[in-house]
Homo-oligomer: A and B are copies of this chain.
């Protein structure tokens, strides 16, 4: 196999009580990438469509991630990458993670899979690090491993795949305003009160338990974030109205996706998701910005190979 075409999906990270550790993979939205093994060594990004992003491998998350892999696994072959972006950079649904994960996934396949999905996280993280200014794994992990993931540690990388309650469905709103991850990081405080930290880990522990027991009521009680949301939500237009409308329409939880401006709601089943879609649409259409709303099951597989 000398070339591979893949689908690198979007993802939701910083899931309320799971700031910096919890993420899940989406199904309908994602980039396509074509990766080709060549005889000349090194990484080349030969084409990017759909977004104005640098072809320079040192300045592109896919290039940085790919080079991290090749540094750990030297080979005589080189790789050319074509990227067909559908996920907008700065949208908060893991645009850079998709590119970084896609590059290392594709190259790993063409090398005959020397690495597991879990192994690939650290390479993809290096790409992410360039995009956001800090190294984090909560988007690349669900893209590479699929489903819902918990990043216990990034040094060393230790990621746990959590169970996916069957009916769990996400609604994601992407208001098309740009919010740089690096900027959204800046407004996060360096310290938190012990009291709020305890609430957060109590909620995260409960949310993990709720996933195992498919306990939607407990998911709802525990999907809270009193640490980051109060700060970052100010950057998102109509955040409180969107949250209120979603919860009234039956969402079990609502919060910021990644570092925003996208927001997510979780609910039970497609019908529930459609109600939330309508509720969100009513709020967001009242202001003058472009937006997209996606309904998505949790993508259990994550990144995948496309066959033409």
Interface size of A by CB at 8 A reads 38
Min CB distance A184 to B, Å, is: 14
Interface string of A208-224 (1 = CB under 8 A from B): 11001000001001100
Q: At the interface, yes or no: A117 with Cβ under 8 Å from chain B?
A: no
Which of A83-91, A95-103, A185-193 has 4 or more CB atoms under 8 Å from chain B? Answer: A185-193
- Partner-binding segment picked from A1-9, A18-26, A69-77, A267-275: A18-26
Which residues of B have CB within 8 Å of A221?
Answer: 152-153, 158
Which one of A20, A160, A212 has the greatest number of beta carbons of chain B within 10 Å? A160
Contact of A158 among B198, B200, B206 (CB under 8 A): B206
Known: A158-B221, A191-B193, A197-B197. A206 touches B19 (CB 8 A): no
Q: How far is the CB of A31 from chain B (nearest CB, A)?
A: 28
A237 interface hit (Cβ, 8 Å): no
Q: A194-B191, A194-B192, A212-B212 are in contact. Are A160 and B206 (CB under 8 A)?
A: yes
How far, in Å, is A203 (CB) from chain B's closest CB? 6
A132 to chain B, nearest CB (A): 15
**Number of copies of this chain that the complex holds:** 2
Per the bound structure, the CA–CA distance linking A241 and B303 in Å amounts to 46
Beyond A209-B162, A218-B160, whether A197 also contacts B192 by CB under 8 A is yes
Shortest CB-to-CB span from A47 to chain B, Å, is 37
Bound-complex Cα distance A198 to B225 (A): 13
Which listed residue, B18, B191, B202, B208, touches A192 by the CB 8 Å rule? Answer: B191
- Mark A126-166 against chain B: 1 for CB-CB distance below 8 A, else 0: 00000000000000000000000011110000101010000
The reply to whether the CB of A205 lies closer than 8 angstroms to some CB of chain B is yes
Q: How far is the CA of A64 from the CA of B222 in the complex (A)?
A: 30
Q: Determine the residue in chain B with the shortest Cβ distance to A17.
A: B201
Contacts of A209 in B (CB 8 A): 150, 160, 162, 208, 212
Q: Tell me the bound Cα distance from A162 to B209 in angstroms.
A: 7
**Chain B min CB distance to A87 (Å):** 25
* Pairs A-B, 10 closest by C-beta atoms: A152-B206, A201-B201, A197-B197, A208-B208, A21-B202, A191-B191, A212-B212, A201-B204, A20-B198, A152-B202
Q: List 9 A-B contacts (CB under 8 A).
A: A152-B205, A152-B221, A158-B221, A160-B218, A190-B193, A192-B192, A192-B194, A197-B201, A212-B212
